[in-house]
């Protein structure tokens, strides 16, 4: 059976261009799809980002911007727009890039891909419409028995169906590439990472269908009852696993950026790929992270699931935490930066926003999102932070400083290579990842601080001024919320610059023609490094060893500090 019989006859010959910087053959149909998905992503980032800023300014007690009703509405919209729509549109673009472009292949069934795109747009708009109507302020998680308007769930379902089509197109493109022998040997590592993301996405979307379709029918009155504990278990099989799509996707972008800008290759393909494979095997267990303070669940179930089966998926991330900076160090040493322990890092292209975005994402995802995630997901420690602001603090460390920052960095590669436009205002673009990164890191850390002091998440008024029984948080908690507000302004500035640079470049950037020299140049061997299989091999990595040791020591210390806190609590069993 050939690819044609599976996917349908090729109507007309696909049209290709050859990239002058990477030597890759780019299918024009795939390129248009990547553009469309990337543009949609940025639009939803803008909407979700503005809502996020309004949430943070409301949570700043001195500002307290929105009234309660609007606050809860904005918070619901913020979650849906950035966590789902921005990230998944961008991920679909990543999937098309990692299949069609990196494998020099035509994209499978582009018309079908457009259908997926339209479904995603319609779904996202429908959910936003339901939220803005005001009767669906149920938060992104929409826990029953609280009920949203039917369109809220329907929009999410349509969006998921569209995303599933995107995954199918991706897999079909892989089949075509193999059939038509457009690459040699194993697929490149970045494509391998994208395959990981797509496999997890299929699991995620299936879980989402299992829970969202009955919930939608319930909101229509066709089903009488949704058990809230069952809902939470299945919903998070979608909700948390979605974040594992993000991890696989942004780790792929780390490797992609390192390859294109520095000519980096993985230290050994076997290790980096096995680390991705760990994600497929174990990350799905994370639903338990949300059920550690719930009634009726056995400790053995909690321990096995919350630890991703003895932390084997965490092991995957810790491995990438070594191999990504390791690959960068190895490449930089080959590029001639061999002095001392850290010349490779000092002389890295810090002025290139694609690199700074990628590297900040790597560091912050590990130190902020990663460590806090393991602590939060420890069975007993969870009780210290469950549903406090620590939780959003943690996941802003993963999806904002990790995923979003990596995607922003990746955008500075997409603009010249796919949109073929020169980036306008390069000085502003250079500044952007730092501004956004520092702001987002502040948001994460200060929310974690507030959570440690007991401030609840999704809460309009930490002064409890309207409560019949008065309660007051400590002065420290108010300070944290203020600092969180200031950080949110910084991040919003960074986000605004990103949107302005992207939109400006797409509309008014200079068209790139043959022989043009890029403002932010690629490595001469970048195209080959990213699209070919192969390990770097034996190298000495003193700098990376120091970095990873610092990480490990921080991790261990922070872990035990939290056990110390826990041991001082009231006793319960």
Binding residues among 449-488 for another protein as defined by CB under 8 A:
452-454, 456-462, 464, 466-474
Q: How far is CA 505 from CA 218, 285, 323, 423, in A?
A: 45, 41, 33, 5
Rule CB under 8 A: say whether 319 interacts with another protein.
yes
Tell whether the torsion through CA atoms of 42, 45, 50 and 51 is positive or negative. positive
Rule CB under 8 A: say whether 273 interacts with another protein.
yes
CA distance 546 to 541: 9
Q: What is the DSSP letter of 17?
A: E
The residue count for binding another protein (CB under 8 A) is 97
Q: Which is nearer to another protein, 171 or 559 (CB)?
A: 559
Q: Which is nearer to another protein, 434 or 558 (CB)?
A: 558
Tell me the residue ranges of DSSP E strands in 125-275: none
Q: Take residue 137 and report the two structure tokens written for it.
A: 């302020």
Rule CB under 8 A: say whether 72 interacts with another protein.
yes
Q: Are 446 and 508 in contact (CB under 8 A)?
A: no
The footprint of another protein on residues 219-248 (CB under 8 A) is 227-229
Q: Which is nearer to another protein, 93 or 374 (CB)?
A: 374
CA distance 55 to 487: 13
The footprint of another protein on residues 73-132 (CB under 8 A) is none
Q: Which is nearer to another protein, 294 or 519 (CB)?
A: 294
Q: Which is nearer to another protein, 123 or 325 (CB)?
A: 325
CB 383, min distance to another protein, A? 6
Q: What is the x/- site pattern for another protein, positions 387-416, by CB under 8 A?
A: xx----------------------------
Of 30-38, 213-221, 404-412, 560-568, the window that binds another protein (rule: CB under 8 A) is 560-568
Q: Are 358 and 399 in contact (CB under 8 A)?
A: no
Rule CB under 8 A: say whether 20 interacts with another protein.
no
Rule CB under 8 A: say whether 334 interacts with another protein.
no
Per CB under 8 A, the list member of 297, 341, 503, 518 interacting with another protein is 297
Rule CB under 8 A: say whether 134 interacts with another protein.
no
Of 7-15, 68-76, 119-127, 407-415, the window that binds another protein (rule: CB under 8 A) is 68-76
The footprint of another protein on residues 186-215 (CB under 8 A) is 186
Q: Which is nearer to another protein, 83 or 441 (CB)?
A: 83
Q: CA neighbours within 13 Å on the CB side: how many for 66?
A: 20
Alpha-carbon torsion, ordered 99, 101, 104, 109, to 10 deg: 60
What is the helix (H) or strand (E) element at residue 26, kind and residue range? Answer: strand 25-27
CA distance 418 to 290: 39
Per CB under 8 A, the list member of 6, 132, 210, 569 interacting with another protein is 569
Q: Take residue 239 and report the two structure tokens written for it.
A: 């909700």
Of 43-51, 246-254, 312-320, 514-522, the window that binds another protein (rule: CB under 8 A) is 312-320
Q: Are 198 and 167 in contact (CB under 8 A)?
A: yes
Q: Which residues touch 340 (CB under 8 Å, ≥6 apart)?
A: none
Rule CB under 8 A: say whether 558 interacts with another protein.
no
Cβ count within 10 A of residue 483: 18
Q: Are 529 and 263 in contact (CB under 8 A)?
A: yes
Q: Which is nearer to another protein, 168 or 233 (CB)?
A: 233
CB 485, min distance to another protein, A? 17
Q: Take residue 234 and report the two structure tokens written for it.
A: 């299945």
Per CB under 8 A, the list member of 111, 184, 221, 222 interacting with another protein is 184
Minimal CA–CA distance to 132: which of 83, 81, 86, 89?
Answer: 81
């Amino acid at each position: 059976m050939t690819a044609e019989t599976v996917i349908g006859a090729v109507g007309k010959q696909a049209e290709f261009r050859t990239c002058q910087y990477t030597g890759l053959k780019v299918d024009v149909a795939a390129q248009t799809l990547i553009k469309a998905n990337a543009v949609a992503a940025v639009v939803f980032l803008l909407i979700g980002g503005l809502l996020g800023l309004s949430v943070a300014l409301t949570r700043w007690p001195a500002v307290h911007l929105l009234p309660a009703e609007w606050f809860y509405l904005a918070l619901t919209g913020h979650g849906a727009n950035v966590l789902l729509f921005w990230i998944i549109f961008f991920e679909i673009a990543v999937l098309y890039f990692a299949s069609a472009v990196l494998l020099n292949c035509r994209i499978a069934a582009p018309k079908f891909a457009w259908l997926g795109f339209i479904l995603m747009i319609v779904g996202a708009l429908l959910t936003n419409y339901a939220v803005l109507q005001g009767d669906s302020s149920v938060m992104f998680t929409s826990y029953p028995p609280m009920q949203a308007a039917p369109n809220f769930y329907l929009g999410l379902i349509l969006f998921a169906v569209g995303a599933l089509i995107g995954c199918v197109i991706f897999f079909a493109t892989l089949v075509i590439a193999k059939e038509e022998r457009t690459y040699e040997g194993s697929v490149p590592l970045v494509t391998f990472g994208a395959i990981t993301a797509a496999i997890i996405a299929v699991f995620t979307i299936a879980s989402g269908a299992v829970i969202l379709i009955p919930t939608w029918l319930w909101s229509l009155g066709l089903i009488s009852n949704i058990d809230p504990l069952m809902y939470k278990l299945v919903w998070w099989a979608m909700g948390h696993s979605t974040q594992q799509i993000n991890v696989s996707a942004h780790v792929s972008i780390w490797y992609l950026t390192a390859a294109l800008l520095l000519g980096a290759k993985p230290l050994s393909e076997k290790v980096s790929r096995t680390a991705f494979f760990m994600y497929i095997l174990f990350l799905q267990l994370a639903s338990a992270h949300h059920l550690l303070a719930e009634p009726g669940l056995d400790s053995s179930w909690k321990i096995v699931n919350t630890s991703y089966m003895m932390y084997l998926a965490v092991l995957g991330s810790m491995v990438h935490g070594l191999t990504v900076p390791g690959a960068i160090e190895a490449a930089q040493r080959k590029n001639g930066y061999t002095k001392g322990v850290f010349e490779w890092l000092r002389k890295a292209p810090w002025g290139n926003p694609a690199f700074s975005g990628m590297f900040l994402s790597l560091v912050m995802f590990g130190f902020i999102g990663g460590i806090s995630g393991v602590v939060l997901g420890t069975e007993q420690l969870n009780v210290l932070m469950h549903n406090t602001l620590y939780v959003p603090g943690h996941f802003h460390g993963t999806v904002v400083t990790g995923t979003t920052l990596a995607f922003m960095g990746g955008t500075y590669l997409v603009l010249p290579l796919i949109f073929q436009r020169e980036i306008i205002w390069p000085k502003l673009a250079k500044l952007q990842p730092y501004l956004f990164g520092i702001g987002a890191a502040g948001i994460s850390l200060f929310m974690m601080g507030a959570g440690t002091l007991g401030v609840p998440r999704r809460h309009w008024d930490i002064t409890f001024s309207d409560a019949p029984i008065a309660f007051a948080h400590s002065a420290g908690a108010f300070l944290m919320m203020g600092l969180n507000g200031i950080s949110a302004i910084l991040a919003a500035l960074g986000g605004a610059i990103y949107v302005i640079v992207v939109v400006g470049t797409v509309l008014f950037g200079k068209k790139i023609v043959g022989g043009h020299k890029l403002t932010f140049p690629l490595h001469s061997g970048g195209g080959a490094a990213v699209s070919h299989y192969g390990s770097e091999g034996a190298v000495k990595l003193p700098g990376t060893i120091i970095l990873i040791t610092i990480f490990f020591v921080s991790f261990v210390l922070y872990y035990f500090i939290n056990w110390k806190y826990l041991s001082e609590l009231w006793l319960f069993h």
